[in-house]
Amino acid sequence: MAKRIDLRSDTVTKPTEEMRRLMAKAEVGDDVYGEDPTVNRLEELAAHMFGKEAALFVTSGTQGNQVAIASFAGRGDEVIAEAESHVFFYEAAGISAIAGAQTRQIPGDRGVLRPADVRQAIRNKDIHQPRTALVCIENTHNRAGGTITPIATLQEIHEIAHAAGAAVHMDGARLFNAVVATGIGEREWASHVDTVQFCLSKGLGAPVGSLVVGSREVIDRARVWRKRLGGGMRQAGVLAAPGLWALTNMVERLADDHANARHLAEQLVAMSGVRVDMETVQTNIVICDVEDTGRTADEFVGALRRDGVLASAFGPTQIRFVTHKDVSRSDIDTAVSVMAKLVASLRR
């Protein structure tokens, strides 16, 4: 069978041979007792890299976001989040179901919250209003197409939030894509937020897991939430070992994914009837709109799949492609020619 070119997400990446070797020989213990040496090493490394006091290894990006949010916001509080953010859009209403808080959704500019809008949305001390406990930033922003929140914007939002007594959490599922694209290190990004969640299992290629970094006090609270949610894993060193490898060896290569995404976007935007907002093509995600072809995203995705190219329908006429370590430049070229053939066939 011909190779499938899977551009649905960077979550489809498979662990490398080296990761599998490290998994097999990982030193392990009971992590709920704090005795897994490999998990402890991973948490220490993450805290050190991000310049925070502590870190927590969690099962997924969603769990990391939710334990962080619940550590800041409780029943009857309000959490500000971008209107298309993952924490609001894709986490099964975890903010209300787990923390018991309500979400205030603010549309951003290509996924980037405007500081003035955050200032405006923060509640006054008033018997009628909820307390604004937290502002969530998504960097890079998935539904906006992998866009980066500029560091100056982050700093401004952080200052506004802190002045009002609210914390800032960064959903940095793909923060390392922002690190590589901007040259701004993770420690600098983390210095403008209280907590960061970042994923090992997306572009970095590890099979499972995310980390939350923050102050000792907040991470202690997040550890209780992780336990409550059933995320207290035991000999989790077998999962932390490939994560350690990913964190130390897989970051720089994200630049290849960004170059492939740009190449893909440039080819797509040149096809008649296909639109791409090139300003959003900043990291490893490309979203194109096929409305002008008269076909739906589902029709396109189905036709691409029949020719071995997997992509995600991301709206009625929007298709998302995500580049990652398991697709090469030549795979991208193949995907482009499949898409070009499809577009040409519609015009006849």
Residues that bind ligand PLP (CB under 6 A): 11, 60-62, 65, 86, 138, 142, 171, 173, 199, 201, 210
Helix (H) or strand (E) holding 238: helix 237-249
Measure the CA–CA gap between 254 and 16, rounded to whole angstroms: 15
Q: Is 64 strand, coil or helix?
A: helix
Q: Minimum CB separation from ligand PLP for residue 64, in Å?
A: 8
Strands 78-82, 285-289: parallel, antiparallel or unpaired by DSSP?
Answer: unpaired
Q: Minimum CB separation from ligand PLP for residue 210, in Å?
A: 6
Q: Minimum CB separation from ligand PLP for residue 65, in Å?
A: 6
Q: Minimum CB separation from ligand PLP for residue 177, in Å?
A: 10
Q: Which residue is nearest to ligand PLP (CB)?
A: 61
If the CB atoms of residues 38 and 201 are measured against ligand PLP, the closer one turns out to be 201
Kindly tell me the burial class for residue 290, based on how many C-beta atoms sit within 10 Å of its own C-beta (0-12, 13-18, 19 or more).
buried
Q: Minimum CB separation from ligand PLP for residue 123, in Å?
A: 25
Q: Minimum CB separation from ligand PLP for residue 339, in Å?
A: 23
Give me 30's structure tokens: 């009971």
If the CB atoms of residues 147 and 334 are measured against ligand PLP, the closer one turns out to be 147
Measure the CA–CA gap between 57 and 64, rounded to whole angstroms: 8
End-to-end CA distance of the chain: 30
If the CB atoms of residues 200 and 244 are measured against ligand PLP, the closer one turns out to be 200
Q: What is the dihedral of CA 174, 285, 209, 14, to 10 degrees?
A: -140
Q: Minimum CB separation from ligand PLP for residue 11, in Å?
A: 6
If the CB atoms of residues 58 and 218 are measured against ligand PLP, the closer one turns out to be 58
Q: Minimum CB separation from ligand PLP for residue 90, in Å?
A: 7
If the CB atoms of residues 60 and 267 are measured against ligand PLP, the closer one turns out to be 60
What one-character-per-residue DSSP string does 26-74 give?
A: -----GGGT--HHHHHHHHHHHHHHT-SEEEEES-HHHHHHHHHHHH--
Helix (H) or strand (E) holding 15: none
Measure the CA–CA gap between 20 and 303, rounded to whole angstroms: 35
Q: Give strand pairing partners of 312.
A: 320
C-alpha of 295 from chain center: 29
Half-sphere exposure of 166 (CA within 13 A, CB side): 29
If the CB atoms of residues 90 and 299 are measured against ligand PLP, the closer one turns out to be 90
If the CB atoms of residues 122 and 199 are measured against ligand PLP, the closer one turns out to be 199
Measure the CA–CA gap between 312 and 149, rounded to whole angstroms: 24
According to DSSP, residue 103 is labeled E
Q: Minimum CB separation from ligand PLP for residue 201, in Å?
A: 6
If the CB atoms of residues 7 and 271 are measured against ligand PLP, the closer one turns out to be 7
Give me 113's structure tokens: 């919250």
Measure the CA–CA gap between 270 and 287, rounded to whole angstroms: 14
Residue with tokens 């962080």: 68
Contact 149, 137 (CB under 8 A): yes
